[in-house]
Structure 1
Amino acid sequence: MSVDATTVRRVAKLARIAVSDADVAAMEGELNAILGFVEQLSEVDVSGVEPMTSVTPMAMKKRADVVTDGEKADDIVANAPAAEDHFFAVPKVVE
């Protein structure tokens, strides 16, 4: 894929970057170099490579996926002006 001046201006507009007309040619070269490197990466065979989470092998830390009430209901409503059965009590505003 090759980038032209129109594409450089469009990418700059989407990225909200001010690029002067004098800088368009330089940006065009830089973007083409980046895309060329990405094309080189697509040539590498990674069929036997597992995805990594870090440069050192490690297991992801996991927790049980369970729903709890946090067991802090008393702490949460401790500073409330009014509470009832672990809920905030507020004055009725709609009749």
Structure 2
Amino acid sequence: MSEITPDLVRHLGVLARIQLSDEEVEQLTGQLDVIVDNIAKVSEVATADVPATSHPVALQNVFRPDVPGDMLTVAEVLQNAPDAADDRFRVTAILGEEQ
């Protein structure tokens, strides 16, 4: 027995503020009915002994551990800087004084 009727589709269209033509109502009635039937089939097999999953295959982190490596010295970092002061890059101000 179909749960989705053309009147229900028209009502959903009004709620969603979508103007639907008669052809669209007919097409959506069939499509929504198929979706509801498929959800019902899934509900039949989804029992308490079947764990819920978000992915069909178990996922694992593929990243390496975050281990610090050799670091540059301040002098090495600033050696090619166009301008530096107090062990920092010096750049032109881009914000007004009020910032």
TM-score relative to the length of structure 1? 0.49
TM-score normalised by L of structure 2? 0.48
